[in-house]
Structures are given as C-alpha cells and as structure tokens.
Amino acid sequence: MRKIERQMNNAITKGVDFKSANTEVVSYTNSSDVYLFGNLIARIGETWIELFDGGWQTVTTKSRLNAILSEHGCPGEYVFQKNYQWFVNYNGTTIPFFSGMRLN
C-alpha cells in the first residue's frame, strides 16, 4: 500500500479531513468521502462502503479503492480488471463493478 493510501485510511479511521497531492478525504459525522483529482471515488459509513469510479477507471482509482476495501471493507473484497472491465470480489462472488455500488 502506498504512503498516501495509508494516510488516507488513517484519516478515514480517525474521522478527520485530509488532503495530499491528488487525494482528499472529507469527513462528516458518520461518514467520509474520498476524492481523487476532485472526483468522488468512495463514501465510507460505519457499516457500508459505496464505490465510484469518478468517470475514470484508472490504475490509481482502483488502487485507492482497494486500499479502502483492505482497511475498511470485509476480508477478501477487492476491485479487479479482466478484459478491460472492472469487477468486485464480494463475499467470494465476482460481480460487475458499477459506479455507486454499495457494499455492506
């Protein structure tokens, strides 16, 4: 995990705002929003995570989402790409990625 992703996850855990380079965390009372280049890529609540691609399915977006899932998701959840399409491994099941999907 990259240093910026560790800092991002730390801010989410502590419920504080964070901004460094292209990544920003905005914290609210019961949730945090994560932005990459100003585009919303994740919303993290106490018992759920919403994933977005911000209109850009890039290696960096996928890396940030996987860092969030690694720290705040359930074990084994991750985003991956196959034949130029994104998928999520969720509870051992592969499901197509769509922006705004919610994981519990």
Tokens 């690694």 -> residue: 70
Residue owning tokens 């910026």: 4
Distances (CA, A) of 36 to 39, 53, 56, 90: 5, 9, 10, 23
Taking only the tens place, the pLDDT of each residue in 52-74 is 998 999 999 999 999 999 999 98
62 C-beta neighbours (distance < 10 Å), count: 19
Neighbours of 65 (CB within 10 A): 25
Q: What does the pLDDT look like over 23-50, one tens digit per residue? A: 999 999 999 999 999 999 999 999 999 9
Residue 104 binned pLDDT confidence (cut-offs 50, 70, 90): confident
Domain-wise residue ranges, the chain: 3-103
